[in-house]
Amino acid sequence: MLNSRQRAQLRGMANDYETIFQIGKSGILETTVKQVKDALEARELIKLRILETCPTTVRQTADLLAEATDSDVVQVIGSKFILYKESRNNKTIKLVK
């Protein structure tokens, strides 16, 4: 679980990140969950976007995907959200205490 200082640190880091996933009318599929898990393992911090055709809200999608990938929702803003999960093999982000 992230504290507020850690969330702020991750939000600042994610400002420069490109959106690497878009979730559309199909919603969250098993393949989406696997791809997001793989991306989190490789990068630890990723930015995603939902399209207007997505059947769930941004917050619902972020929460469902975070639960499915065992990650933390860092921020939800507009149609985008940021997920974080500490990598087992590629630790590059050092969180503040």
Count of structural domains, the chain: 1
**Residue 90 belongs to a domain:** no
Q: 91 Cβ partners below 8 Å, 6+ apart?
A: 44
Q: What is the DSSP letter of 17?
A: P
pLDDT in tens, 26-48: 999 999 999 999 999 999 999 99
**Residue 26 belongs to a domain:** yes
Q: CATH number for the domain including 72?
A: 3.30.110.60
Cα–Cα dist 14/47, whole Å:
7
The residue written with tokens 């630890």 in the block is 44
**Residue 16 belongs to a domain:** yes
pLDDT in the model for residue 90: 83
**Residue 94 belongs to a domain:** no
Report the SS3 class of residue 79: coil
**Residue 31 belongs to a domain:** yes
pLDDT in the model for residue 69: 96
The residue written with tokens 């939800």 in the block is 76
pLDDT in tens, 47-93: 999 999 999 999 999 999 999 999 999 999 999 999 999 999 889 99
Residue 3 pLDDT > 90: yes
Burial of residue 11 (number of CB atoms within 10 Å: 0-12, 13-18, 19+): middle
Band the pLDDT of 97: cuts 50, 70, 90: confident
Q: Are 48 and 76 in contact (CB under 8 A)?
A: no
Q: Residue 35 belongs to what domain range?
A: 4-84
Residue 1 pLDDT > 90: no
Q: What is the DSSP letter of 9?
A: H
